[in-house]
Each structure stands twice: as structure tokens, then as C-alpha cells.
Amino acid sequence: MIGLLRGELLKSVTTRAVWGFAAGGTAFAVLNAVIVAVASGTIDEVPEKKEALAGFPVLLLLWGLVGAAGEYRHRTAAPTALVARRGRGTVLAVRIAAYALTGLGLALLINAVAVGVALPLLADQPGPDLTSGQVAEVAAANVSALVLATVLGAALGALIRSPVVGAVVLMTLALVVQPLVSGAWEREANLSPFGAVGVMTGGTHNTTLTVAQAGAVFAAWTVLVVLVAVGCERRRDLA
């Protein structure tokens, strides 16, 4: 099992895609910090300042989806299962765990950049400064959101099996469907994966959910999709 995890980790960190998404995630962190802390004008409330530290979970969700779906597009899923001599569901579970570990590394990098860029910029803004405890709370929520998004993406990639179709569906849900639902039913929309992750990263301020509750909602969605993906993997052909 350790050898299988090591192999999946090696695949996840040696592709060019992971470095592209790492660069994209850090670039977003810098851009978000500059826009919120400087370009948006005067901010003097703590929730607005927390938003300057936010990451972009949808990006890592897309990375997990594209990477996991690519196993089927490039026909590497079947040879991996045959060589590992493990059940197909077990191989997928290990693959998802490898993406979770790699996603943790990316999440720590992105949040370190976000904090390092945002805090000096926020120092020039009026109102109370963020305390070390508040910064740690935001960073923990962001890291959790990014890791869960990676896991959810990998599970969705195993279900959809097509990077292109998966990416189109994901971006449609995130950029079109979610905003429409939020406009009509804001409270209910926060219970969706995209709504919950928005609360976790500070992008949604007017909500009845706490960050911890939103994290529980997003974790529940992630676990559900992982269980469905592993169950389906056991029942269908890998080819």
C-alpha cells in the first residue's frame, strides 16, 4: 500500500500541470491581496481584511479533476490497477489520498504567499489590524478548503473520466449556476459545495453559517462524492 501511495504521489508532483496550477494559485493569491487591500479603496472592517488572505479553491478543484480524469484519458488507470494487484476502488482511494497530500503542499504554499503579500498591504488601511489568531484562523480555513477542493476534484475526475467535459461542467457550475442560485436562494445556496467553500474562504459575508459549519458542509459533500466515486470504480471497466 505504501508503495502504491508513493507511486501516485510521484505521478501527482512530476507532471507539468501541477506546477502550472501552483503558479496560478500563487498568482491569484497575489492578485486577490492587491485588489482587496489596495484597489478596492478603504477597508476598515475585519471580515473585509480577512478576504484579502483568501485562496482560490476552485483552481485546485479543477487540478484534481483534470489530473484524475487524465488517468482514464491516457489509459494509465488500468495498468496501475493490474500492477498494484489491488482492487480498483482501493487504487482510486489511494490516488485520491495522494492528491490530498499534494494539495496540502500547494495549499500551504498559496496561503503563505497570500499572508506574506496581504498583511503588509493591510497595514496601511484604517481600523483594527488582524490579530495573529485571526490570521491563523483564516489560514486554517483556507488550507482546509483548498485540500478538500482537491479531493473533491479528484473524485469528480474519476466519475466523469473526461478532463474537458469535467472542466466545462465545473466552470459552468461555479461561474453560472452558483451565482444564479445564490441570487435567488442565498441561504440554501450556502449549503452547496461552492457556497460552503465561499464562506470558508471569506468570500461570502452575509451568511447564517459559521466557518466551521461551512467546513463541515463542504467536508460532507466531499466524503459523499469520494464514496460514490470509489463505489462506481469497483463496478465498471477501467479501459
Summarised one tens digit per residue, pLDDT across range 13-53 is 777 888 888 999 999 999 988 888 887 767 878 888 888 88
Determine, yes or no, domain membership for 179: yes
> 77 pLDDT exceeds 60?
no
> Which of the pair, 10 or 141, is modelled with greater confidence?
141
Which whole number is the average pLDDT over 66-79? 71
> 108 pLDDT exceeds 70?
yes
At 166, the pLDDT band (50, 70, 90 cuts) reads confident
> Which of the pair, 126 or 140, is modelled with greater confidence?
140
Determine, yes or no, domain membership for 238: no
Which whole number is the average pLDDT over 65-70? 86
b/e 144-160 (16+ beta carbons within 10 angstroms → b): bbbbbbbbbbbbbbbbb
What's the pLDDT at 206?
Answer: 62
What's the pLDDT at 89?
Answer: 73
> 113 pLDDT exceeds 70?
yes
Determine, yes or no, domain membership for 47: yes
pLDDT, averaged across the chain: 83
> 221 pLDDT exceeds 90?
yes
Most confident of 35-44, 118-127, 175-184: 118-127
The number of distinct structural domains making up the chain is 1
> Which of the pair, 129 or 111, is modelled with greater confidence?
111
Residue range(s) defining the domain that contains residue 223: 2-233
Determine, yes or no, domain membership for 161: yes
- Whole-model pTM: value is 0.88
Determine, yes or no, domain membership for 239: no
> Which of the pair, 87 or 224, is modelled with greater confidence?
224
Determine, yes or no, domain membership for 155: yes
Determine, yes or no, domain membership for 65: yes
What's the pLDDT at 111?
Answer: 93
Three cell numbers written together for 48: 473585509
What's the pLDDT at 238?
Answer: 52
